């Protein structure tokens, strides 16, 4: 009888933990591969942002738009459409690691290309510093 009570208690505890995990899970799942997990932007400040601004307009604005609102000339007809970094919650919800992972490897099933090779590590971090500066400016 005692062991049965223990099993019941353990089951109840497991169910409680599971419910808590489900309720507190973030809306956005970030399946960041181990080689990107936990990475933080090593670059910040006006110089990184200015460099990222130039790189964004040279490499990303055709799709993501001059204003980073997802409305670039090449965005027409893309499904899903390029991310709007202005109005949407993308920047607030995603970690540096996720953004770096996506810019580096692209996003399968979408038009988002890989910039590995096209842009160096520092350049990809500069673009991310620029994108983050947009979220700060909007607040």
> What residue ranges bind ligand HEC (CB under 6 A)?
59-60, 62-64, 74, 78, 80, 82-83, 90, 99, 102-103, 107, 110-113, 115, 127
We find the least distance from the C-beta atom of residue 34 to ligand HEC, in angstroms, to be 18
| 9, burial (CB in 10 Å: exposed 0-12, middle 13-18, buried 19+) | exposed
Q: 101: left (phi > 0), else alpha (psi -120 to 50), else beta?
A: alpha
HSE value, Cβ hemisphere, 13 Å, CA-based, for 6: 3
Closest CB to ligand HEC among 11 and 93? Answer: 93
Closest CB to ligand HEC among 27 and 139? Answer: 27
We find the least distance from the C-beta atom of residue 107 to ligand HEC, in angstroms, to be 5
Peptide bond into 80 cis (omega under 30): yes
Closest CB to ligand HEC among 14 and 80? Answer: 80
* Residue 129 near residue 100, CB atoms below 8 Å: no
We find the least distance from the C-beta atom of residue 13 to ligand HEC, in angstroms, to be 36
DSSP classification of residue 27:
S
Closest CB to ligand HEC among 71 and 113? Answer: 113
We find the least distance from the C-beta atom of residue 139 to ligand HEC, in angstroms, to be 19
């Amino acid at each position: 009888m005692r062991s049965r009570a223990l099993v019941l208690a353990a089951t109840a505890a497991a169910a409680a933990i599971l419910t808590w995990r489900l309720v507190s899970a973030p809306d956005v799942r970030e399946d960041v591969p181990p080689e990107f997990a936990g990475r933080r932007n090593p670059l910040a400040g006006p110089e990184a942002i200015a460099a990222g601004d130039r790189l964004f307009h040279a490499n990303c604005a055709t799709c993501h738009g001059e204003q980073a609102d997802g409305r670039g000339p090449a965005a027409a007809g893309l499904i899903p459409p390029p991310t709007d970094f202005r109005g949407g919650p993308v920047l607030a919800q995603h970690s540096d690691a996720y953004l770096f992972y996506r810019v580096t490897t692209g996003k399968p099933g979408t038009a988002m290309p890989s910039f590995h090779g096209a842009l160096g590590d520092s350049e990809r971090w500069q673009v991310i510093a620029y994108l983050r500066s947009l979220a700060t400016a909007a607040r």
